[in-house]
Amino acid sequence: MVVFLDVLIFENVIVNTFLLHITAQTLMIKVKLKRLFISGAIGGIYVITLVFPQLSFFSGIVFKIIVAVLMVYIAFKNKNVLFNIKATVILTIYSMALAGICLFIDFYMHGNSKYSIWINNIPYEYVMISIMILYMVIYRITVFVKDRRDVFSLVYNVEIGINDKQKFVRAFFDTGNELREPVTNLPVMIVERSSFEDIVMNEKGKYYIQYQVASGKPGILEAFKPTYVKIYNGTQVEMRDMIIALSDNKLSNFNEYTALLPRGCI
């Protein structure tokens, strides 16, 4: 038998990535495809223990369990022991189910059965791998489109008045934004500084607001109180008193919005 090691490893990487992908779906957690692929690559490289007799010691059941646990940990980055056990069991069940399907197909293709499966003389392994890749791509596209649709449903047109000037921004309604200016107790809308490049701020009217991100890192935002804020909510226009804080960072990777509306303003 001739074994092309690069093809064998590639096939196993795709299969492992697919199994980790459906395991993540079963656990209903979002995982970056990059981590799934890295974890799948580790499992794909492990297949060499079945090819080289010198490494046969590492193909035992204990090492297989260790590799499965390692793959789960790398893919999901969860330190909870029960979670990792649960994910490993699910991954193992899916692996066994897929192996059973492959044995079934192989039996009917090369066995003595009077039935036979032929797909234009293409090896069934390539067909299955193509289906796995297609499934992961379609799923990722579907999730991306759904996320974009959900984002757009929470994006509002906002008019900010500053003395005799007006600025229009697209703002995302961030339910996790509970930032308030401590003196006035007004809610704070965060806007990219680039939106106010042509407006000179009055130094006397500036506020400095302390904030803390989810990671615990603190910071200070420069802010001011506008003349008015109008939020266009469909056919309605809602007036709100709030503080505008300026951010030096981009708020949207896809430029879908340049501001974050605070909780309770809609």
For residues 23 and 9, state if they share a domain: yes
* 170 shares its domain with 116: no
The amino acid occupying position 109 is M
Cα–Cα distance measured from residue 256 to residue 138, given in angstroms and rounded to the nearest whole number: 23
The token duo for 213 is: 């991100």
Q: Given 151, 181, 203, which residue is the final one in a domain?
A: 151
pLDDT of 115 > 50? The answer is no
Residue 126 has a CB neighbour count (10 Å cut-off) of: 11
12 & 136 share domain: yes
User: Which residue in the list 106, 147, 164, 174 is annotated as catalytic?
Assistant: 174
Q: Which domain holds residue 31?
A: 5-151
241 included as an active-site residue: no
Number of domains forming the structure of the chain:
2
**Beta-strand (E) ranges in 68-224?**
155-162, 165-173, 188-192, 206-212, 218-224
Tell me if 49 sits within 8 A of 58, measured CB to CB: yes
Do 48 and 23 fall into the same domain? yes
Question: Residues 43, 114: contact at Cβ < 8 Å?
Answer: no
pLDDT in tens, 13-35: 999 999 999 999 999 998 888 99
266 within some domain: no
CB 144 within 8 A of CB 254: no
CA 61 to chain centre: 33
Q: Name the least confident of 75-79, 87-91, 104-108.
A: 104-108
Percent of all residues in the chain with a pLDDT value above 70, rounded to a whole number: 91
Question: What mean pLDDT do residues 34-40 have?
Answer: 93
Q: What is the mean pLDDT of residues 41-45?
A: 90
Greater pLDDT, 235 or 14: 14
